[in-house]
Chains A and B, each alone.
Chain A
Amino acid sequence: MTWETVIGLEVHVQLATKSKLFSGASTAFGSEPNTQACAVDLAMPGTLPLANEQAFRYATMFGLAINADIGKESVFERKNYFYPDLPKGYQTTQLEKPIVGPGEVEIALADGSTKAIRIHHAHLEEDAGKSLHEDFHGMSGIDLNRAGTPLIEVVTEPDMSNAEEAVAFAKKLHGLVTSLGICDGEMSQGSMRFDVNISVRQPGGELGTRTETKNLNSFKFMEEAIALEVERQIDVLESGGSIQQETRLYDGDKKRARTMRSKEEANDYRYFPCPDLLPVIIDDEYIESVRAQMPELPEARKARFASEYGLNDYDAGILAGDLATSQYFEILTQRTTDAKQSANWIMGELSAKLNSEEKSIGQSPVSAEQLAGVIERTKDGTISSKIAKQVFEALWQGEGDSADAVIEAKGLKQVSDTSALEKMAEEVIANSPKQVDNYKNADPEKRPKMLGYFVGQIMKASKGQANPQAVNEILLKKLDELL
């Protein structure tokens, strides 16, 4: 049987405000537990919410970026349920009147085609705290630092039909919100979290029952979780079973998913308008003032990278896709005045290293300024491209502040000093009588290929620091003298 997959996403995007959605407590990541939970965040009796203007500005920016209608009247509602990370016993969110109405995001696929993914709406809401499951003699610890951090929840239509499209959408959204500067995009810190709704059906048939896999916080996990769930659903259906509507959790380390709760256990959230907050009115003047301050978006940046730096479409798309990468690229290019080399380094060595350590570019131990030093020293011949990788690795490990410092400390400077190289060449020739004979007796057109052996010996003797071009020239000269 053939099956069609239907995927919709709900994406929680943490907004990069300084303070919380309804209180003046800090939203900074990684502080000591509960040091950023004020009386409002702790739901102390009698405390009241105060709405943060910047959160509305950010949500409006997002709406404008996806060409959505901005809700002129936006109303907060209470979503009621008990959980220890939810101090008030309700989450303040939006339901009937969200800030961002329907919109659209276009994704590019590997085969070069594009697809429009419809956004149902996006609403503002507060994040919950965290339950820490380390064992406190059989109890859990609750940290409410994150409670009240502003989120927009972006809800798509079920427009994606495989993991590739879902991941492409997720990456596109990541690029959009980081470029807008409304989210830091740090997935490992939970700044973007994905809930994936998945169902399968016979081609053209009725929509199947869907499941929701919650809280995926990396593109890789998302891809894996979708593949796993699609396979599970097909297995169930093909063996005559039926899919139960349920919420699932994916464990990215164990590569396993499990049921979190079934539909029967689903809560009755009893939404109603929050009486502590009045309707927020967003007028045209406000919208226009936000529009006027919109930063460059990835599409525009891609076009600019292509024309300004002469990058091909593919490279431009990747480098312009998210803000941190594009900023890294531009700093690098400005310093090195070599867009092609900069692009190659980011998409090659840097990206491989970041991937292997599951780091975002924002968390890169090697800054754009440091990498620029590496490229500059390669270009001016101080180091070879092979040594450059070694310098990069040393910078990554924190073994020096700059390329120059690493080169200096490790003595990696390329040897271009002719007398030293001549001495090495003479020694190699003297120690390789057999190879020299072969060289002499060979056809003149085969000789350049045979030069490789002598070069290799010198590079070995110089621990790779000899300037290969100079070595070539000296060897040619010395060997020719023997003919």
Chain B
Amino acid sequence: MHHLSIAELAKGLRAKTFSSVELTEHFLQRIKRLDGEFNSFVTVTEQEALAQAKAADAARAAGKDTPLLGVPIAHKDIFCTQGVRTSCGSRMLENFVPPYDATIVDNYQQAGAVVLGKLNMDEFAMGSSNETSYFGAVKNPWDTRCVPGGSSGGSAAAVAARLTPGATASDTGGSIRQPASHCGLTGLKPTYGRVSRYGMIAFASSLDQAGVLTHSALDAAIMLNTLVSFDPLDSTSVDAPLEDYTADLGRDVAGMTIGVPQEYFGDGLNVEVAAKVQEAIDEFAKMGANIKEISLPHSELAVPAYYVIAPAECSANLSRFDGVRYGYRCDNPKDLEDLYKRSRSEAFGDEVIRRILVGTYALSAGYFDAYYKKAQQVRRLIKQDFDQAFADVDVIMGPTCPSPAFKLGAKGTDPVAMYLEDIYTIATNLAGLPGLSIPCGLVENKPVGLQLIGPAFAEQRLLGLAHQFQNTTDFHTLTAPGLE
């Protein structure tokens, strides 16, 4: 059953080939048996999942038939789940049980999906390797000596290891697409504002967006249909008409124009990855797409701008973790200052502290203009690059990551080396655009991804192109070697 896609599982449930309880038990068994090796789950909600599965079967017997009814999924541990510990990968929230659900958690519950548990992640989504999690690093199912990518490393590893057919995730600078690339998955970051952020623990509010990790574009479209909603609880949630993301998957690639930015094929890119990405683009050409070389001239400034804006926003967003109302509190604080400082220093990891300090610096008196304001101006230049490009092309394609998954610990303590992992994905977040990574081959026996970037709200177009590619290729069906 774990080799079936979400579309196939839904079909099987509808045909009563298996029940949701059977399906859920099957995945719970797999998690129990296999996840010791990958560490992709932080919390497995066995009892809740079985109860939801039972309820889904009963609802189906009573005539309910929604696309995700009884289908098991799992949530990144950044989404608040009422009554279920939500850690955000941090010691700070090691015992935090939210009294409310994130809107997207509620959406899946309404749709009748079964939640297997909460998935590991870099602490507060700050990382590109899932090594900053308080709950330990996650291993890449394709090569357990390697990282799965981050920050949604648990989501990616769990789907790649077929411990769940699909997972929710979040992407602030590449945290869905980069792990998708490293784990051979389809990973979609929707347009900023398309998905509610309510109940998603904030890292950088103007960049964060929830998305999904699945095997195929079709599965991503099915999951996206439930993920997307207009949410009055989020002022930045866009009140645009809801779409059926599965409706246009058959779209004709012929006649579409694909822009290939020269800046995405520069020095930092592994040559074998470049070759795989080029082959994938050639495949689109074969399907009748026009390929056009384009320029996004401010690309090299995306990482510097991001590492001002994201830390600045996070430095304020993480101030609420002060040991007063919830979360970690140090033992025997001697005064208020001590309560703040020790609670925060004992519960935040090194990377989180680094980013808080960088953000504090960028906003501090005398530096605001040189850093924060400058970064926001550059952000606009980056956005304008995309606007100009999309005047001529329908989609932009290039690599998702500069190289395949690296070994655990390989980037050591050098944050800058780690930051460059997201060199091709970050600009999309700065501009608020949708981005999709799909597998396009193996390098060193590890998957690599092709990134598709669209104009705002062009999720259907991206999924359609990806689906057509997946109809003619089989990279998305490859399974990690040695996996049961």
B201 near A45: Cβ-Cβ < 8 Å: yes
Contact of A276 among B98, B205, B324 (CB under 8 A): B205
B326 near A276: Cβ-Cβ < 8 Å: no
Given A45-B93, A46-B200, answer yes or no on A39-B319 (Cβ-Cβ < 8 Å).
Answer: no
**Is B316 in the interface zone, CB < 8 Å from A?**
yes
B window 290-324: CB within 8 A of A? 312-313, 315-316, 318-322, 324
- Interfacial chain A residues near B100, Cβ < 8 Å: 39, 44, 47
- Interfacial chain A residues near B318, Cβ < 8 Å: 89
- Interfacial chain B residues near A275, Cβ < 8 Å: 204-206, 313
Given A42-B325, A270-B364, answer yes or no on A50-B88 (Cβ-Cβ < 8 Å).
Answer: no
Given A270-B364, A272-B368, A276-B236, answer yes or no on A45-B320 (Cβ-Cβ < 8 Å).
Answer: yes
B319 near A88: Cβ-Cβ < 8 Å: yes
Could you say which of A39, A270, A271, A276 has the most chain B C-beta atoms within 10 Å of its C-beta? A270
Minimal beta-carbon separation of A181 from chain B (angstroms) = 27
Q: How far is the CA of A44 from the CA of B96 in the complex (A)?
A: 10
Contact of A46 among B198, B324, B360, B363 (CB under 8 A): B198
Q: How far is the CA of A473 from the CA of B111 in the complex (A)?
A: 93
Q: How far is the CA of A271 from the CA of B360 in the complex (A)?
A: 10
Q: How far is the CA of A84 from the CA of B324 in the complex (A)?
A: 7
- Interfacial chain A residues near B139, Cβ < 8 Å: none
A45 near B88: Cβ-Cβ < 8 Å: yes
Minimal beta-carbon separation of A43 from chain B (angstroms) = 4
Given A45-B93, A46-B80, A80-B319, answer yes or no on A39-B99 (Cβ-Cβ < 8 Å).
Answer: yes
Q: How far is the CA of A115 from the CA of B86 in the complex (A)?
A: 59
In the complex formed, the residue of B with least CB distance to A140 is B336
- Interfacial chain A residues near B326, Cβ < 8 Å: 42, 44-45
Interface of B is mostly: loop
A84 near B336: Cβ-Cβ < 8 Å: yes
Q: How far is the CA of A45 from the CA of B98 in the complex (A)?
A: 8
- Interfacial chain B residues near A46, Cβ < 8 Å: 79-80, 98, 102, 197-202
- A35-70 CB mask vs B (1 if < 8 Å, else 0) is 000010011111111110000000000000000000
- Interfacial chain A residues near B365, Cβ < 8 Å: 268, 270
- Interfacial chain A residues near B199, Cβ < 8 Å: 46-47
- A271-292 CB mask vs B (1 if < 8 Å, else 0) is 1100111100000000000000
Could you say which of A42, A43, A50 has the most chain B C-beta atoms within 10 Å of its C-beta? A43
**Is A208 in the interface zone, CB < 8 Å from B?**
no
Q: How far is the CA of A10 from the CA of B363 in the complex (A)?
A: 25
In the complex formed, the residue of A with least CB distance to B365 is A268
- Interfacial chain B residues near A51, Cβ < 8 Å: 235
- A247-279 CB mask vs B (1 if < 8 Å, else 0) is 000000000000000000000101110011110
A272 near B363: Cβ-Cβ < 8 Å: yes
Given A46-B200, A84-B336, A268-B364, answer yes or no on A90-B234 (Cβ-Cβ < 8 Å).
Answer: no
- B16-29 CB mask vs A (1 if < 8 Å, else 0) is 00000000000000
Interface size class of A (residues with CB under 8 A): 20 to 34
In the complex formed, the residue of A with least CB distance to B361 is A270
- Interfacial chain B residues near A88, Cβ < 8 Å: 316, 319-320
B80 near A50: Cβ-Cβ < 8 Å: no
B235 near A82: Cβ-Cβ < 8 Å: no
Given A44-B100, A275-B205, A275-B206, answer yes or no on A50-B235 (Cβ-Cβ < 8 Å).
Answer: yes
> How many A-B contacts if CB must be within 8 Å?
97
- Interfacial chain B residues near A43, Cβ < 8 Å: 320, 325
Q: How far is the CA of A44 from the CA of B363 in the complex (A)?
A: 24
Q: How far is the CA of A78 from the CA of B320 in the complex (A)?
A: 13
- B224-259 CB mask vs A (1 if < 8 Å, else 0) is 000000001111100000000000000000000000
**Is B135 in the interface zone, CB < 8 Å from A?**
no
**Is A87 in the interface zone, CB < 8 Å from B?**
yes
- Interfacial chain B residues near A107, Cβ < 8 Å: none
Minimal beta-carbon separation of B314 from chain A (angstroms) = 11
**Is A142 in the interface zone, CB < 8 Å from B?**
yes
B316 near A80: Cβ-Cβ < 8 Å: yes
Contact of B340 among A47, A82, A270, A278 (CB under 8 A): A82
A82 near B322: Cβ-Cβ < 8 Å: yes
In the complex formed, the residue of A with least CB distance to B100 is A39
B312 near A48: Cβ-Cβ < 8 Å: no
Q: How far is the CA of A469 from the CA of B232 in the complex (A)?
A: 73
- Interfacial chain B residues near A49, Cβ < 8 Å: 235
Minimal beta-carbon separation of A187 from chain B (angstroms) = 29
- B185-206 CB mask vs A (1 if < 8 Å, else 0) is 0000000000001111110111
**Is B108 in the interface zone, CB < 8 Å from A?**
no
Q: How far is the CA of A271 from the CA of B373 in the complex (A)?
A: 12
A277 near B235: Cβ-Cβ < 8 Å: yes
- Interfacial chain B residues near A268, Cβ < 8 Å: 364-365
In the complex formed, the residue of B with least CB distance to A24 is B233
B312 near A272: Cβ-Cβ < 8 Å: yes
Contact of B235 among A42, A48, A84, A142 (CB under 8 A): A48
- Interfacial chain B residues near A89, Cβ < 8 Å: 316, 318-320, 322
Q: How far is the CA of A88 from the CA of B317 in the complex (A)?
A: 8
B325 near A272: Cβ-Cβ < 8 Å: no
**Is B372 in the interface zone, CB < 8 Å from A?**
yes
Minimal beta-carbon separation of A369 from chain B (angstroms) = 43
- A83-113 CB mask vs B (1 if < 8 Å, else 0) is 0100111100000000000000000000000
Q: How far is the CA of A82 from the CA of B235 in the complex (A)?
A: 25
- Interfacial chain A residues near B204, Cβ < 8 Å: 275
- B447-461 CB mask vs A (1 if < 8 Å, else 0) is 000000000000000
In the complex formed, the residue of A with least CB distance to B92 is A45
B235 near A270: Cβ-Cβ < 8 Å: no
Q: How far is the CA of A275 from the CA of B96 in the complex (A)?
A: 25
- Interfacial chain A residues near B235, Cβ < 8 Å: 48-51, 276-278
10 closest pairs, A vs B, by CB? A89-B319, A270-B363, A275-B206, A275-B205, A43-B320, A46-B199, A45-B201, A46-B201, A268-B365, A46-B80
Interchain Cβ contacts under 8 Å between A and B, 10 examples: A42-B325, A43-B320, A45-B202, A46-B98, A46-B197, A80-B316, A87-B320, A88-B316, A88-B319, A276-B236
9 further contact pairs, Cβ within 8 A, besides A45-B86, A48-B197: A39-B99, A45-B96, A82-B319, A84-B324, A84-B336, A87-B325, A276-B205, A276-B236, A278-B236
